[in-house]
Amino acid sequence: STTGIQGKVVAITGASSGIGEATAVLLAERGASVVLGARRTDRLDALVRRIRADGGRATALAVDVTRRADLEALVQRAVDEFGRLDVLVGNAGISRLSPIGDLDVGGWQAMIDVNLNGVLSGITAALPVFRRQGEGHLVTTVSTSGLKIVPTQALYAGTKNAVRTLLEGLRQESTDGVLRTTSVSPGYVRTELVDSMDMPPEVREEVQRNMAELGIAPEAVARTIAFAIEQPRDVEIGEIVVRPTRQN
Sites of contact with ligand NDP (CB under 6 A): 13-20, 38-40, 63-66, 91-95, 114, 141, 143, 186, 188-189, 191-193, 196, 218
Exactly one of 23, 44, 139, 156 is catalytic; name it: 156
> Least CB distance from residue 19 to ligand NDP, whole Å?
4
Question: Which residue number, 192 or 235, has a Cβ lying nearer to ligand NDP?
Answer: 192
Q: How far is CA 45 from CA 14, 17, 87, 218, in A?
A: 13, 12, 21, 20
CA distance 209 to 56: 36
Question: Which residue number, 195 or 234, has a Cβ lying nearer to ligand NDP?
Answer: 195
Question: Which residue number, 208 or 231, has a Cβ lying nearer to ligand NDP?
Answer: 208
> Least CB distance from residue 35 to ligand NDP, whole Å?
13
CA distance 139 to 213: 28
CA distance 27 to 10: 8
> Least CB distance from residue 119 to ligand NDP, whole Å?
9
Beta strands in the chain (DSSP E): 9-13, 33-38, 57-62, 87-90, 136-141, 179-186, 239-242
Q: How far is CA 153 from CA 9, 119, 130, 199, 207, in A?
A: 34, 19, 34, 10, 11
9 close to 142: Cβ distance less than 8 angstroms: no
Whole-angstrom Cα Rg for the chain: 17
CA distance 23 to 138: 14
143 close to 157: Cβ distance less than 8 angstroms: yes
Question: Which residue number, 63 or 78, has a Cβ lying nearer to ligand NDP?
Answer: 63
> Least CB distance from residue 177 to ligand NDP, whole Å?
28
Closest CA to 150 of 99, 102, 193, 199: 99
Is residue 188 annotated as part of the catalytic site, yes or no? no
Query: What burial class does residue 102 get, using C-beta atoms within 10 Å of its C-beta: 0-12 exposed, 13-18 middle, 19+ buried?
Result: exposed
> Least CB distance from residue 239 to ligand NDP, whole Å?
14
Question: Which residue number, 67 or 131, has a Cβ lying nearer to ligand NDP?
Answer: 67
- Catalytic machinery residues: 156
